[in-house]
Structure 1
Amino acid sequence: MQRCKNGMKLDDLRTLIAIAQQGSFRAAASALDIPPATLSRRLQRLEDTLGSQLVIRDSRNVSLTPLGQNYFDRCQPLIEELESATTELQDSSHSNPRGALRISAPVGLLTYRLMPLFNRFMAQYPEVTLSLTHLSNQHHDYSPEQYDVVFRVGRQPDSSFAAAKIGQSQRILVASPDYLAQHGAPSHPNDLNQHARLASVPEFEWALTCKDENHQLETIWVNSPVRMAIADLNSIKQAAIDGLGIASLPNYVVADDCQQQRLTTLMDDWCSPPRPIYMLYQRLGYIPAHIRCFTDFMRDALAGF
């Protein structure tokens, strides 16, 4: 464990920085990947070493004392510079990228596009490890302290991440040949009110857009009751293949099934607005070689997606 001249441990200082950045003991412990009891013990040891209270604790909130805030403001850039210099030195001493990748991605995008590329990258760089424990498309549940690279679908809020657009997703209407043979094929969005809709949560309402004869965009919202709603794209796709109704799914999810005629696309003139797909990663400071190598690999592999 690294120790400063006065006996203070750098891990204890990292604890204070994590608490200030995360705003709670539980989130800070998660970001540092340590038990909450260890985090509390390290904070107490830091306060004992400095002889001052740095954090105000109550049942609901955690905040820094004025002294703690001042100490955090002065120490945070120094710790970041130390860690960047250490990582840079470690990178330069190895010819092959090495290190741990912490990634977050949506389930559907992971299954149908990203995972095969992750596997290729891992095979090419055997000294890199990958951790993918958070599968989500939520825009508010990631930070640079938790993840090195984040994949998300849809417009992203401003954050400390750099955002590289790596493709786009467009939902299309599909149904099985058996369903269409039994119930007929809709020719207009209003016809969907007479069909069984299969919706992936939370996409209960479908926005379908088409250019009219004057080349003006017309958008119709379809919000009739759904027969099945599941928070899993693959399950909704399977229900459509089994002939239970019409589904609105991302094009990359159903591409193989349409090619093999398990599903048929409907009303091709009507489509949902395209949504960008982003790869987000650290934008400031030194970026370790294995993260730079991974983002370059993914950007090249997804060119034209």
Structure 2
Amino acid sequence: MDTLEAMRAFVKVAESGSFTEAARRLDVAKPLVTRAVQALEARIGTRLFHRTTRRVSLTDAGQRYLGKAAPALVEFDELEASLRGEAHGEVSGTLRLTMPVSLGVRYLVPLLAEFKARHPRLRLDLDFCDHLVDPVARGFDAAVRVSTRLEDSALTIRRIAASPVVLAAAPAYLARAGVPDTLEGLRDHQMLEVIAERAATGVPRVLAGDAALGAPIRANSVEALKGFAVAGHGVIRAPAFALAEELASGSLVRLLSDAALGEYVVSLVFANRTMMPLRLRRLIDHLALGMQDFAEVVVAPRARSA
């Protein structure tokens, strides 16, 4: 037996407590199971079983090995089954994705629900967070990012949509501080800042982290800053999709809508692979198609007076 089959033999002996029963379950001769476990112990350099004439039990090392080997074999078997299905065009297995909270909850979840309905054997493992995530280091198949300065040379980047930059503030704040007529006029306003935000394409310098701008409130979440903006604490800069509901309801008012503020690009980032899993390839195509009209998310007109 090779190493993988030896692991299977070990797990069957551990589960059944018997070399004879393990051989029966594997449908092989008992001596083959015995030699496989012995070879595994020799390679590891420690005994995995206590053996007596009456019973077989795991050593401490055997317990630790079983804790890792059993789930690893299950995962391997699932992977093989998934690949066999993909070879016949069937989407299955697990897709692990990470995405920003606002974009994910409002726009991606409905698309993912459609995708899951089309592929019932697929499992989705989703992570919602607003900080930058390395999909490879965290074990994700892909990460959805809202920015443009994607400098990860080891990763593949697929643009799937874009959303214009929007400036907005609450009516109460504008009544108190006035409505800015120009970008330079924003220097006299309280700007709410997203920590470590990557600047959007074409964002003017006055909006792209200029040191002259004060930031009374900083946060690593657009959703959090939006709450402060609605409460009247300052001007927020965010993708249009993140503020669409508040602008539609009037709890935030759009500012300087005629100014060239640039755009945020929505991209799917994933590891370079010689053979991309079918489930990921299909997902990328599904999201790109489903978000074709994403840039047309309409926001309310700019404020003209306090």
Tell me which interval the TM-score lies in, with the shorter structure as reference length.
0.5 to 0.7
Structure 2 gap ranges (5+): 9-38, 46-76, 295-306
Question: Do the aligned partners of 2:130 and 2:220 also contact (CA within 8 Å) in 1?
Answer: no
**Alpha-carbon distance change, 47 to 297 in structure 1, aligned in 2, over 3 angstroms:** farther
Name 2:145's counterpart in structure 1: 152
| Mapping 1:130-209, distance limit 5 Å | 130-133=124-127, 135-138=129-132, 141-143=134-136, 146-153=139-146, 154-203=148-197, 209=204
Name 1:112's counterpart in structure 2: 106
| Structure ID, larger Rg | 2
The CA distance in 2 between the partners of 1:104 and 1:148, in whole Å, is 9
The CA distance in 1 between the partners of 2:168 and 2:215, in whole Å, is 15
Name 2:228's counterpart in structure 1: 239
2:237 is aligned, of 248, 272, 279, to 248
Question: Do the aligned partners of 2:136 and 2:270 also contact (CA within 8 Å) in 1?
Answer: no
| Mapping 1:1-305, distance limit 5 Å | 4=2, 9=7, 49=43, 87-92=82-87, 96-133=90-127, 135-138=129-132, 141-143=134-136, 146-153=139-146, 154-203=148-197, 209=204, 221=210, 223-281=212-270, 283-305=272-294
TM-score of the pair, normalised by structure 2 = 0.61
Question: Greater share of strand residues, 1 or 2?
Answer: 1
- How far apart are residue 235 of structure 1 and its match? 1.7
TM-score of the pair, normalised by structure 1 = 0.62
Identity %: 23
**1:244-275 Cα deviation digits (max 9, x unpaired):** 22111111101222122221111223343323
Name 2:34's counterpart in structure 1: none
Root mean square deviation, CA, Å: 3.8
SS in structure 1 at match of 2:186: helix
Q: How many residues align?
A: 230
**Alpha-carbon distance change, 158 to 47 in structure 1, aligned in 2, over 3 angstroms:** farther
- How far apart are residue 6 of structure 1 and its match? 9.2
The CA distance in 2 between the partners of 1:115 and 1:86, in whole Å, is 27
Structure 1 gap ranges (5+): 11-44, 52-81, 211-217
- How far apart are residue 185 of structure 1 and its match? 0.1
The CA distance in 1 between the partners of 2:279 and 2:199, in whole Å, is 41
**Alpha-carbon distance change, 83 to 6 in structure 1, aligned in 2, over 3 angstroms:** closer
**1:148-192 Cα deviation digits (max 9, x unpaired):** 222122232354543211112433210122222232101123322
Which one-letter code corresponds to 2:173 in the other structure? Y
The CA distance in 1 between the partners of 2:164 and 2:234, in whole Å, is 19
- How far apart are residue 130 of structure 1 and its match? 0.8
